[in-house]
Structure 1
Amino acid sequence: MSQVRTRFAPSPTGFIHLGNIRSALYPWAFARANQGVFILRIEDTDLERSSQAAVDVILEGMKWLGLDHDEGPYYQMQRMDRYKQVLAELLDQGLAYRCYMSSEELDALRERQMAAKLKPRYDGTWRPEPGKTLPPVPEGVKPVIRFRSPQGGSVVWDDKVKGRIEISEDELDDLVIARPDGTPTYNFCVVVDDIDMGITHVIRGDDHVNNTPRQIHIFRALGKEPPVYAHLPTVLNEQGEKMSKRHGAKPVTQYRDEGFLADAVVNYLARLGWSHGDDEIFSREQLVEWFDLDHLGKSAGQFDETKLRWVNSQHMKMCDDAVLAGLVAEQLARRGLEAPADERLAKMCALFKDRCSTTVELADWLAMYFTDVQPASEDLAKHVSDAVKPALQALAERFATAEWQRDAINQAIKDTIAQFGLKLPQLAIPLRVLVCGRAQTPSVDAVLELFARDMVQRRLRSF
């Protein structure tokens, strides 16, 4: 088999969400699994709706998720000369023709067809045929260019997701491939791009199924066999609607800001339409090792943020603590807290990460090490009683001279409990409330070891 070459070809007409980015993940994974080439192509011919800001979000989202491209980004607007060259070739070979039917004439034709309960379609008025006399060319009308579609028979392809698809030629009229101003249309540009870029596999959303027979026609008219197609079922939102900006979808980069790990999002998205046995949690390396087109799902995947959070929590547990420290430092910096991503912060992450589903939650826990805490009045009233305050004072004095490491901190707590005849929770819970601002934490000696000694003493003496 020739080298696998796949592509992601988004239109920069709005922010990119998880439903969109899955159409980048699968061709990326397939290219990586087959030592192939992954190409990024920006389909920006919709000048009114395309924006550089949308391009930037596409690039930023793909970079965050680690979906690195080998070629591109190519921009269709920079390839206009090439498209016009191919249009001229098709006209010269009689595979395309100029159509002078005005928009008013087309509207009237559609109305007649609909009144007769026929499918609206172009009737071939300007299609050249042997022995046919074409109407006189009207003055002042700029023509469109139409592709001369084959007649009779069917277009057939074996889709890697949907199986064999057959569409009758009678369903297809002569497609407009260039507008009156000469700019080429989407279906035409896509084929020229896929030929020039040597695309072997087109993995895209199933909203493109209806475009495929028209694109296959153009491939063959240009003397090329079409690539392998895999049309992915839609991604639905939690309400069962197609995921879209209008239906509450968030930009991909918002998940980064909300504390999700890139590897977890890749893992979750991969499972939203593909499977490897019953494996739920896997690394990026395992995805690349396992990915194929034979295990793509045929049913629509439904987004579930609760499941995404669970997947993220599993990846948090597996994540290197130094990597987490860098991410948490960024989250804390957004709150105006300066926390160097050093070994101490990595140890904090190791201690608390099992309790968290995002780095935002982890930053919530670790903020107590970098800024003052305000214990809830009800916690103070419930746990920091007059009866326990002498013990807390004595503990603060022991902490002043104890070696500041976990075993010594634990011994100071035990000695204070023995001195005052307390049980561990009677001292440990008020200690947590005053130092950490909350009544529940991991093992209190491990938590305190990561504080600066003077901060612990100051908070113990603040009541």
Structure 2
Amino acid sequence: MSNTVRVRFAPSPTGPLHIGGLRTALFNYLFAKKHNGDFILRIEDTDQNRYVEGAEEYIIDALNWCGIPFDEGPGKEGKFGPYRQSERKSLYKNYALELIEKGMAYYAFDTAERLDFHRKDHEAKGKTFIYNWHNRLKLSNSLSLSPEEVQAKLDAGEDFVIRFKSPQDEELLLNDIIRGEIKIDTNILDDKVLFKSDGMPTYHLANIVDDHLMEITHVIRGEEWLPSLALHQLLYNAFGWDAPQFAHLPLIMKPVGKGKLSKRDGEKGGFPVFPLSWNESEGYREAGFFPEAVVNFLALLGWNPGTEQEIFSLEELVKTFSLDRVHKSGARFDPEKNNWYNQQWLQRKSDEELAELFMKNPSVASRGVETRNDKKYVTKVVSLIKERASFVADFWELGDYFFESPTSYNEKAVKKQWKEDTPQIMNEVMSLLENIDDFTSSNIETIVKDWIGKKELSFGKVMPPFRLVIVGDMKGPHLFDILELIGKKESILRIQKAISSLPN
């Protein structure tokens, strides 16, 4: 076993990477980097029937987008490659045969039809069929047949699998970093298939052999693999190898708290469950999330730093992360909280960076707004509206009036603010603006407020309708900041337009 911490993320390329898989990759990455170790990507593609074109590239793209690239893996060959199991398949059979020689595995020749008969027969009797110590000698395998019969079947090219011979009447003591000591009665274990009739290993054999050969020190994986832990430990024992330390992460639960988060939950709730888009399913990247926000909220799904801190950069997570603060129980997925994380990361971005992102955003690019190409102007706009935004895509709705004169006015606001004498007041405000040379926010504010005082008007009579004619609604930042940005000419045109289009 290596002295260097070595962990692996070992997905199957059977479709897009689920957000739960991404969290597993993240926890592996954080643990490796915390201990100056190596983070390996291994593609477990032994099940060629379920292989999906493009899935491997998707996994790599997702890791890179999140800023958690692997140190070794496909395309980053190290001394432990290749890193696709399909390219390692010549390795596995010899290990399966080694277990047969040791008396810890055996050939099984049972047909699928025969096994199906036994299952149905057990169901009819209210029992569950398990292929193990209590019936293995009654079935067709190298334990129940003579050596000559076994050799004859092999020579005849009969289909076979190689099964692990689970021990009888033993108590297995297992240790999990997150869950502590686990005791397993070996009598309840079935004799799992290690090697299939198609010449490919099963997940269990390939996984153990590869982890050993790649000198993996810690296996950090999802809770769904907990039932396999006993077999994996027994396989390490059978080969005489030191087992890595195991840590099984809690499930990510539905927003309602019950059941594992699924693609359907995302479709029903209107939130992504994949890091990147896949076919018709939107990803977090395409939904406008920052990778820093995704990494931040995923890290706190099932892990607690032990403090009140909620916002973590990747560097801070590496420093703070530890497996002993990972919870055993499932972590509830909260889409609203995830939006909040994105809002927090948006506020941490510079106005210039956000302006660039906004100018590239389809909500702006499709509108033919001339000022969108003026980065200096857009940066100023962003600085005024970003506090109210969770996503860059929110900027248009929050600040469309910076780019376009209102084409309509909020009906409720018109009824409340547009009184009989309002057109006259707005006319006077317009005249006031025409005579201002220093058209800066502070100067406009001083002049308008002085004028309100001299006229003995209430601010409620002037400022709300003033905002309405400039913005078209009662939203937006400080009104005088808006006036300075859109300029004197545009401000006057908007007042004129409102007076002529709103009822007198």
Shorter chain as normaliser: what TM range? 0.7 to 0.9
Q: Kindly provide the CA deviation profile for residues 390-448 of structure 1, in whole angstroms up to 9, marking residues without a partner as x.
A: 44345445545533432233234335535654333433323322332321222112233
1:51-200 to structure 2, matched below 5 A, reads 51-73=52-74, 74-84=83-93, 86-87=95-96, 89-90=98-99, 95-114=104-123, 115=125, 117=127, 119-122=129-132, 123-124=135-136, 125=139, 128=142, 135=149, 137-138=152-153, 141-200=158-217
Could you tell me how far 1:28 is from its partner in structure 2? 1.5
Could you tell me how far 1:207 is from its partner in structure 2? 0.7
Cα pair 2:130 2:190 within 8 Å, conserved:
no
Measure the CA separation in 1 of the matches of 2:13 and 2:97: 28
1:164-243 to structure 2, matched below 5 A, reads 164-239=181-256, 240-243=258-261
What TM-score do you get using the length of structure 2 for normalisation? 0.81
**Aligned pair partner of 1:365 in 388, 398, 401:** 398
Could you tell me how far 1:236 is from its partner in structure 2? 0.9
- Structure 1 residues 243 and 442, CA, compared in 2 at 3 Å: closer, same or farther? same
Does 191-200 or 316-325 show the bigger shift? 316-325
Could you tell me how far 1:135 is from its partner in structure 2? 4.3
One-letter identity of the residue aligned with 1:99? A
One-letter identity of the residue aligned with 1:304? D
The answer as to 2:339 corresponding to 1:306 is no
One-letter identity of the residue aligned with 2:443? A
Could you tell me how far 1:134 is from its partner in structure 2? 6.7
Could you tell me how far 1:229 is from its partner in structure 2? 1.0
One-letter identity of the residue aligned with 2:66? L
1:255 corresponding residue in structure 2? 284
SS at the partner of 2:13? coil
Deviating beyond 6 angstroms after TM superposition, the runs of 4 or more aligned structure 1 residues are: none
One-letter identity of the residue aligned with 2:402? Y
One-letter identity of the residue aligned with 1:365? L
Could you tell me how far 1:388 is from its partner in structure 2? 3.0
The answer as to 2:263 corresponding to 1:245 is yes
Cα pair 1:10 1:42 within 8 Å, conserved:
yes
Cα pair 1:7 1:27 within 8 Å, conserved:
yes
One-letter identity of the residue aligned with 2:87? Q
- Structure 1 residues 144 and 265, CA, compared in 2 at 3 Å: closer, same or farther? same
Q: Kindly provide the CA deviation profile for residues 180-222 of structure 1, in whole angstroms up to 9, marking residues without a partner as x.
A: 1112211122222222332211111111011122222333334
What TM-score do you get using the length of structure 1 for normalisation? 0.87
Does 58-67 or 273-282 show the bigger shift? 58-67
One-letter identity of the residue aligned with 1:242? K
Q: Kindly provide the CA deviation profile for residues 30-55 of structure 1, in whole angstroms up to 9, marking residues without a partner as x.
A: 11222222122232333333323433
Q: Kindly provide the CA deviation profile for residues 352-376 of structure 1, in whole angstroms up to 9, marking residues without a partner as x.
A: 2322333333342133323453333
One-letter identity of the residue aligned with 1:405? T
Cα pair 2:194 2:204 within 8 Å, conserved:
yes
- Structure 1 residues 147 and 317, CA, compared in 2 at 3 Å: closer, same or farther? same
**How well do the aligned residues superpose, as a CA RMSD in angstroms?**
3.1
One-letter identity of the residue aligned with 1:102? T
Cα pair 1:154 1:168 within 8 Å, conserved:
yes
1:382-397 to structure 2, matched below 5 A, reads 382-385=416-419, 387-396=421-430
- Structure 1 residues 133 and 48, CA, compared in 2 at 3 Å: closer, same or farther? closer
1:440 corresponding residue in structure 2? 475
2:7 corresponding residue in structure 1? 6
Measure the CA separation in 2 of the matches of 1:85 and 1:437: 76
One-letter identity of the residue aligned with 1:248? G
One-letter identity of the residue aligned with 1:268? F
Measure the CA separation in 2 of the matches of 1:87 and 1:393: 91
Cα pair 1:322 1:341 within 8 Å, conserved:
no
Could you tell me how far 1:165 is from its partner in structure 2? 1.2
Cα pair 1:313 1:357 within 8 Å, conserved:
yes
Q: Kindly provide the CA deviation profile for residues 270-320 of structure 1, in whole angstroms up to 9, marking residues without a partner as x.
A: 222111124242222322211001111111111122222333333333343
SS at the partner of 1:69? coil
1:462 corresponding residue in structure 2? 497
SS at the partner of 1:462? helix
- Structure 1 residues 15 and 118, CA, compared in 2 at 3 Å: closer, same or farther? closer
Could you tell me how far 1:244 is from its partner in structure 2? 1.1
Cα pair 2:364 2:396 within 8 Å, conserved:
no
- Structure 1 residues 384 and 229, CA, compared in 2 at 3 Å: closer, same or farther? same
What runs of 5+ residues in structure 2 fail to find an aligned partner? 75-82, 277-282, 499-504
Number of residue equivalences: 463
Q: Kindly provide the CA deviation profile for residues 315-370 of structure 1, in whole angstroms up to 9, marking residues without a partner as x.
A: 33334333333443343557624635945434433322322333333342133323
1:449 corresponding residue in structure 2? 484
Q: Kindly provide the CA deviation profile for residues 146-173 of structure 1, in whole angstroms up to 9, marking residues without a partner as x.
A: 2344444233221111111122222223
**Aligned pair partner of 2:361 in 310, 331, 338:** 331
Could you tell me how far 1:108 is from its partner in structure 2? 2.6
**Identity in percent:** 32
Cα pair 1:157 1:165 within 8 Å, conserved:
yes
- Structure 1 residues 369 and 116, CA, compared in 2 at 3 Å: closer, same or farther? closer
SS at the partner of 2:361? helix
Measure the CA separation in 1 of the matches of 2:329 and 2:7: 23
Measure the CA separation in 2 of the matches of 1:54 and 1:366: 39
Does 137-146 or 439-448 show the bigger shift? 137-146
Does 329-338 or 242-251 show the bigger shift? 329-338
